[in-house]
Amino acid sequence: MSAPIRFIHCADLHLGSRFVGISTDDAELGKRMRFSTFNALDEIVNKAMHEAVDFIVFSGDIFDESNETPYTRQKFADAVARAGIPCYIAYGNHDYKRRWEDSIPLPPNAYVFGSEPEKMFYPPKAMEPQIELIGISYHKRTVYEDLTRNFKGSSDKFTIGVVHCD
């Protein structure tokens, strides 16, 4: 029997959120709130490293907007690199455009699901992967159809579905 697989799942980080209402009412609290999303990301990576998990799943709304600042995008890319383990990413309705990936590429340990159902595996390049991940990223802001309708898992592998739910 193989060793247990351990992973962290997270969603809705909303990195770069400006917390506009709070920032207007209380500038100091607004500043702390804006940095809280980055602190949460750091805590996720720290926990993954401390607990020696096998991989991280980010299932949507990593960013608060599709056109995030270079600073925000770089912070995420750096965190994924620092994790040093496979990071499987499905984008959600807030970050569906992903125009930034050409200018600030994600590190090689990042695996991004496209806008059609896609299978990935853990370990990523193993001849006999233990886990199958089936995922999809949003392709537009509002989606009414069931994005999981074409998810078909293998009968011989443990399967994890990765999709953002709005």
Q: For the chain, give every domain's residue range.
A: 7-162
Q: Give the residue with greater pLDDT, 133 vs 60.
A: 133
pLDDT of 66 over the 70 cut: no
Span 7-162: which CATH code? Answer: 3.60.21.10
Average pLDDT over residues 113-129: 88
For the chain, percent of residues with pLDDT exceeding 70: 86
Average pLDDT over residues 12-24: 78
Average pLDDT over residues 88-114: 82
Average pLDDT over residues 8-15: 94
- Give the sign of the dihedral formed by CA 141, CA 70, CA 104, CA 99: positive
The number of CA neighbours under 13 Å toward the Cβ of 140 is 4
Both tokens of 164, joined, read 């953002």
Q: Determine the pLDDT at residue 25.
A: 72
Secondary structure class of 112 (helix, strand, coil)? strand
Q: Give the residue with greater pLDDT, 51 vs 152.
A: 51
pLDDT of 1 over the 60 cut: no
- Residues with Cβ within 8 Å of 126's Cβ and at least 6 positions away in sequence, in order, are none
Distance in angstroms (rounded) separating the CA atoms of residues 47 and 45: 5
Contact call for residues 41 and 26 (beta carbons, < 8 A) = no
The pTM is what? Answer: 0.87
